[in-house]
Amino acid sequence: MKKLFVTLAAVAFIVTGCTQKKPLVLYYSETGTTEAVALELQKQLGADIEKIEAVVPYTGNFQETIERGGREMRSGKLPELKPLKSKIANYDVIFLGYPIWFGTYAMPIASLVKDNDFAGKTIIPFCTFGSGGLDSSSEALKQALPKANILSGYGVRAARVAAAEKELDRFLKENGFKEGALEQLPDFSEQMPVTAEDSIVFSDACSSYQFPLGIPVSVAKRTTDDGTDYKFIAVSRGMGGEEANVTIFVTKGTEPDSKPEFTQVVR
Ligand SMILES: Cc1cc2nc3c(=O)[nH]c(=O)nc-3n(C[C@H](O)[C@H](O)[C@H](O)COP(=O)(O)O)c2cc1C
């Protein structure tokens, strides 16, 4: 009887193909923020999980990583990674997580995508950042992995990582990775010139950030059960001093004393 069961299981394995139905959460994290999101994803998905590690680890010191990561980026000499324990070939769906470095995915991900075959895989990027980088890093992944199917991803500011649990629940349900009822969010209104009141919301959300985020010129809004979301278009200066429009998302809770927070900057 036991033998028959083993044989049936083997047949089922061959018939259903050799790939896992379970997704893999594969991530790099230097200082633990992306790891917190990866663990939450694993919990909500019941997924397998693996952390990517560099043979020579980054120190966790911001300035040192800026120097090393910048050097690696300029020279194209990517960090060597420890071999993965998971077999990429065994998974159809991979949630790929990373911190944003210099506006794109962290250097260990550059090594990962260069050294592994992701052709035919469905990849859902997730990232953490100081201000933003989900869209730019997803675009970079599409360029680096033209044979993979890169879906819309999830990103959260390191300062708001506590919001990830609830936001991931919505993200996973919206994208069909988790079952459950979901309340539809209303569309944003059209962009309108900012009023004095909107400027105060923008300033309360953005002025404590370490870099100036720009001057808001227009705003769209929507009201949800949790409060009000704002989509500001602001004029900002790039690294070279050039002016550019950026989109800055802000959210403010329903409590009268709740402080507005910016959720991401899209450049
Ligand atoms: C070398 C380096 C470059 C960074 N560049 C950016 C950036 O361009 N934009 C941004 O919003 N945050 C940037 N950050 C902030 C990180 O993305 C953020 O702190 C992230 O949550 C760290 O994740 P971890 O704790 O998983 O390593 C940078 C951090 C480092 C160390």
253 lines ligand 1 (CB under 6 A): no
d(CA 216, CA 58): 37
Q: Would you list the domain boundaries of the chain?
A: 15-174, 192-266
211 lines ligand 1 (CB under 6 A): no
pLDDT score recorded for residue 35 = 98
Does the structure show a pLDDT above 50 at 12?
no
pLDDT (mean) for 124-129 = 98
pLDDT score recorded for residue 238 = 79
Nearest-CA residue for ligand 1 atom 5 is 101
The position carrying tokens 């550059």 is 110
DSSP 193-255: E--HHHHHHHHHHHTTSSS---EEEEEEEEEETTEEEEEEEEEEE-TTS-EEEEEEEEEEESS
pLDDT score recorded for residue 71 = 98
- Topology of domain 15-174 in CATH is Rossmann fold (3.40.50)
Instruction: Label residue 169 exposed, middle or buried (CB < 10 Å: 0-12, 13-18, 19+).
Output: middle
